[in-house]
């Protein structure tokens, strides 16, 4: 089992930045691909960014590419999402997820989820 806990959400003005962090409670963190998803009420949870267990492969949703950066620290068992140039359209609950696969970008390929953290961007 993998337990994930997100932190770093909050309220920010448009154009600002936030950094989300996810702590994983698992000894074999290096064997999991990690990702971030987001969900707006009434809509499906969608992929934001993902990273392979080696860190060699990264993927981003078109809507965030060039603004968001995913990174992981295997020594600390954490995965971060640096979010820059935020807009009101980025307002959502952000979820950290872990996959048993080497690399994954689809929601159905992620097996463990955090509780989520709210990000609100004001205009």
In which band, very low, low, confident or very high, does the pLDDT at 16 lie, cut at 50, 70 and 90?
Answer: very high
CA angle 65, 81, 4 (to 5 degrees): 135
CA nearest to 64, candidates 46, 43, 81, 48: 48
Cα dihedral 111, 103, 40, 17, rounded to 10, equals 130
For the chain, what is the mean pLDDT? 96
pLDDT tens readout for residues 26-69 = 888 889 999 999 999 999 999 999 999 998 999 999 999 999 99
pLDDT at 96: 98
């Amino acid at each position: 089992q993998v337990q994930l806990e997100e932190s770093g959400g909050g309220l920010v003005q448009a154009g600002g930045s936030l950094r989300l962090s996810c702590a994983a409670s698992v000894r074999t963190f290096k064997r999991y691909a990690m990702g971030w998803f987001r969900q707006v009420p009434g809509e499906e949870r969608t992929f934001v960014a993902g990273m392979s267990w080696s860190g060699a492969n990264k993927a981003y949703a078109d809507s965030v590419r060039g603004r968001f950066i995913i990174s992981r620290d295997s020594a600390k068992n954490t995965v971060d999402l640096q979010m820059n140039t935020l807009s009101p359209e980025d307002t959502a609950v952000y979820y950290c997820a872990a996959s048993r696969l080497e690399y994954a970008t689809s929601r159905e390929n992620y097996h463990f989820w955090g509780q989520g953290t709210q990000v609100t961007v004001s205009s």
